[in-house]
Amino acid sequence: MDAATILADAQVILSLGKLAVQVGMDAAPYIEQAYDIVVLKKPLSDADRQAAIAKQAELEAMIATPLDDTGSAA
Amino acid sequence: MLSCFRGPALLALACIALAGCSSLGKTIDAVDGLIITQGQIDGARSSYIALFLTPAAHYRCASIDGGKCTPRQICRTGQSFLRDQCATRDAITKIQSTTVALSKGLGDLQAQFNAGNNTGIYAAYSAVQAAITAAAGLVATYEGN
């Protein structure tokens, strides 16, 4: 394995690590919220419920981005 | 009155024998864990956002900036998410159809609850919970390939 391959692999691992951290950071407030509701039986305020519904709609809209808007990987 | 017939037969018979037994029927439902609360729906929504929508959005979008998604590129033959940070058409299609189904499931659940039907939606609630778990597994699989 040459240096260029090792460097390329390291870059892939680094980018995947960054992605995992980003997903974790974005999901953390809602994992905590689910824990509060389900385990601690702490009710959600109306404002928090509306914020969760808005976040749900925002993420669903991102996922619904049409395939036609996506190019091919180089 | 129909709710009287849920639960053990003896309780049902006793229920029939009593006048105005709807409250007893609700008690039986509660013992069986069949009453759905707003908290349970909220918990399901939070799980849906955390376990499915968030990783799915990152699978679909190469970057997310202020709520704006820059779509991830489609994998060519031989490419993979792990190696090339690309997404497959098949995975995106499945994630999109799963999102539509789960969104509708949660929306229907909330609408039924808002309409005052908190005892007849247990099966729907269980189905949504199971679907969220399955969907979380699905997106984790795509991000592991």
pLDDT at B4 over 80: no
pLDDT at B131: 95
d(CA B133, CA B116): 27
The CB-side HSE value for B63 (13 A sphere, CA atoms) comes to 3
Cβ contacts from A onto B, under 8 A = 118
List of chain B residues whose C-beta atoms are within 8 Å of the C-beta of residue A14? none
Cβ separation of B42 and A52 shorter than 8 Å?
yes
Among B54, B73, B96, select the one facing A72 at the smallest CB separation: B73
In the block, which residue shows the tokens 């389900």? A38
Residues B8 and B41 in one domain: no
| CB atoms B50 and A52 under 8 Å | no
Mean pLDDT for chain B overall? 80
| DSSP-assigned letter for residue A70 | -
pLDDT band at A69 (very low <50, low <70, confident <90, very high): low
Q: If DSSP codes are grouped into helix, strand and coil, which group holds residue B10?
A: helix
- Across the interface, whether the CB atoms of A44 and B42 are under 8 A apart is answered yes
Residues B31 and B41 in one domain: no
Q: Are residues B60 and B112 in the same domain?
A: yes
Query: Are B6 and B22 spatial neighbours (Cβ–Cβ below 8 Å)?
Result: no
Q: Report the chain B residue with the minimal C-alpha distance to residue A38.
A: B43
Instruction: State which residue of chain B sits closest to A58, comparing Cα positions.
Output: B67
Closest CB to A23 among B47, B58, B93: B58
Paired residues of B70 in beta bridges: B63
Q: Let me know whether B79 and B130 are in one domain.
A: yes
Whether B102 and B76 map to the same domain: the answer is yes
Percent of residues in chain A assigned helix, strand, coil, to nearest 5: 75, 0, 20
Residue from B145, B55, B47, B117 nearest A21 by CA: B55
B85, B119: one domain: yes
Q: How many domains, in total, are found in chain B? A: 2
Look at residue B71 in the predicted model and tell me its pLDDT. Answer: 93
Q: Domain range holding B122?
A: 36-143
Chain B residues with CB under 8 Å of A62 CB are 57, 60-61, 64, 67, 69
Query: Is residue B27 located within the same domain as residue B75?
Result: no
With beta carbons under 8 A apart, name residues in chain B contacting A31.
Answer: 46, 50-51
Give yes or no for a contact between B12 and B3, defined as CB atoms under 8 angstroms apart: no
Say how far apart CA B126 and CA A13 lie, in whole Å: 38
- The answer on B55 and B3 residing in a single domain is no
The verdict on B26 and B46 lying in the same domain is: no
Is the same domain home to B14 and B44?
A: no
Reported as a single tens digit per residue, the pLDDT across B55-99 is 999 999 999 988 889 999 999 999 999 888 899 999 999 999 999
Same domain, B17 and B46: no
Whether B122 has a pLDDT exceeding 70, the answer reads: yes
Q: Mark whether B27 and B68 lie in a shared domain.
A: no
B33 confidence band (pLDDT: 50, 70, 90): low
